[in-house]
Every structure is written in structure tokens, then in C-alpha cells.
Amino acid sequence: MSLKVATWNINSVRLRAGLVGRFLQDHAPDVLCLQETKCPDDSFPLAAFRKLGYDHIAVHGQKGYHGVAIVSRLPFEARDARRFCDKDDARHIAVTLTKDAGAAAGITLHNFYVPAGGDIPDPALNVKFAHKLQFLDEMIEWGQRDRPAAGRSILVGDLNVAPLEHDVWSHRQLLDVVSHTPVETTKLGVVQESASWVDAMRALRPEPEKLFTWWSYRAQDWEKSDRGRRLDHVWLSRELEGSLASMDIVRGARSWERPSDHVPVTVTLAL
DNA sequence: ATGGTTGTCATACAA
């Protein structure tokens, strides 16, 4: 069987439930991980996704900010959502596919929304940047202590860091811009190494090809200027590396009506 | 060097 996993920062799931439905119909992922749902759990648009065959939905939201969810047509068991930085922010949710999920049974998915970090890349001047660095430090501790990639597992999400030179439109011009500063890109590399995660997108489309998943709302013409960044990621545990079959950045979604500033990324495994 | 947009919630704040 194949397992198609998608990740998408939706920037309000209620406002864009229609776009999510379109994506589910057009791209038919088995599991979709959403970030920035900005939606309390009791107002998540469950019915819109269930009627498309996505009966299994895990939500971890809050009013107005952050929020993550997993929408699946395969059955799963919910795992504990982790707390980071002594805050109750909804920035992580995890599930394990159950035995009814066929060859995908037992795969654990971790869905993350890492803090954006504000504008000033100095933790002494900007508490939001300090929070982002602390969050990455705690992801490193988690990787080292809990070995989340010891078996068959997948980590996806909006990690709000574009780690490689060709993950941004201009490496030189973004070196002091939050999301591509050396302190962040180095830390994200340590997060990845802490549990031996494999970067699925770059395994299939290595540098120097430029890969972007986010384009600012502020550009006059996002497509023409193409000043993007790769903020969204799909990582695989070593056990799944050999099953990696294909990857797609759904760039066209950035032109849908009232789009998110992020586009979906899909990764397909042949199991 | 500056401002450019969007979503939420209530008029600033986060991204």
C-alpha cells in the first residue's frame, strides 16, 4: 500500500474549510496535518471533513492563536500532546495509526507548529525570539530523551525555520531575518540530528534546487517576485527512509481564492 | 531604510 501524508499551515481552519476540502478531494492524502487552526476544539469544522471520508480527526486548538489538528481516513490512537516552554500553547499533537491502517499500522505522526519568533533576531531584545530558541532547545531534549524516531515515525509541520541556503530566495539577504538566522538554522539541524530524522523533501529534491512552501501576503505579486521560504517540513525516521516514493509542494494552492500564505506539502511512502 | 497584508478579536497583536 501507499501512505500519503500532507502538512499545511492553514491560517484559520474555519475561514478556509472550503480550501481544505478542495485539497482533500484533489490530492487525496491519507492523513492531513494542519497548523494555525486558530480554532477552539468545540468549533472545529469536523462535519466538512467527515463527509469527504476523513472520519478520524484529532484536534488541539485554542481561541485565536496557534492550534494543530490531524485529519485522517485511516484510524489512529491519540498520543499525548506535549507542552513546551511551560506554556499551554497548542503547538504539538501526535497520533499512532492503528492495526486497521494496514501496512501503515504502528506509524506515529508528530505534527508541530514552532513559534514564528517575531521580527528582531535577538533573544535579549525580543521575547518571542527567545521563546522560539527555547522551543527548539526543548525539541532537542525531546529527541535525545524520548527517541521519537526510534521506530516508524514521521514528523511534520510548520517549523518556521528555512534551514538550507536554497530554502530561501536569497541566502545572503535573509541571514539576519528571523527564520534563516544561523542560530535558528543550526538549532534546527541539531533537532533533526537529535533523533536521526531524514528530511524527506530534500532527499528527493536536493540543493541547489530552490524549494519554498511560504510566500508573504505583503508581496504585490507573490508569484512574480517569488520571494519564498521553505518553512514547512516532513521528516522521516530511518526505518521509513527506504519507503520514500514521492513529494509534492502544492504551489498552486497559493493562488486559490483567499489563500493561506503557506501551501500544502505531500509525501508518499510505498509500504 | 521603509512599508508592504492577513486573521482574530475588538482595536491591538501576531504572523
Residue A25 main-chain phi, psi, to 5 deg: -70, -45
Nucleotide nearest to A160 (CA to C1'): B15
Q: pTM above the 0.85 mark? A: yes
- Is any atom of strand B within 7 angstroms of residue A258's beta carbon? yes
CA A194, C1' B14: Å apart?
30
Q: Give the CATH number for residue A254.
A: 3.60.10.10
For residues A98 and A182, what is the distance between their CA atoms, to the nearest angstrom? Answer: 40
* Nearest residue to A189 via CA among A159, A227, A168: A159
Q: Per the structure, how many domains does chain A have?
A: 1
Residue A206, CA atoms < 13 Å, CB-side half-sphere: 2
- Is any atom of strand B within 7 angstroms of residue A87's beta carbon? no
Measure CA to C1' and name the residue nearest B15. Answer: A116
Task: Supply the DSSP string of A53-85, one letter for each residue.
Answer: T--EEEEE--SSS--EEEEESS-EEE-PPPP-T
CA geometry: angle A20, A167, A31, nearest 5 deg: 30
Q: Specify whether the CB–CB gap between A140 and A167 falls below 8 A.
A: no
Nucleotide nearest to A216 (CA to C1'): B5
For residues A130 and A115, what is the distance between their CA atoms, to the nearest angstrom? Answer: 10
pLDDT in tens, chain A (271 residues): 999 999 999 999 999 999 999 999 999 999 999 999 999 999 999 999 999 999 999 999 999 999 999 999 999 999 999 999 999 999 999 999 999 999 999 999 999 999 999 999 999 999 999 999 999 999 999 999 999 999 999 999 999 999 999 999 999 999 999 999 999 999 999 999 999 999 999 999 999 999 999 999 999 999 999 999 999 999 999 999 999 999 999 999 999 999 999 999 999 999 9
Range of the domain at A61: 2-270
Nucleotide nearest to A16 (CA to C1'): B7
- Is any atom of strand B within 7 angstroms of residue A11's beta carbon? yes
Measure CA to C1' and name the residue nearest B4. Answer: A218
Nucleotides of B under 7 A from a protein CB: 4-9, 14-15
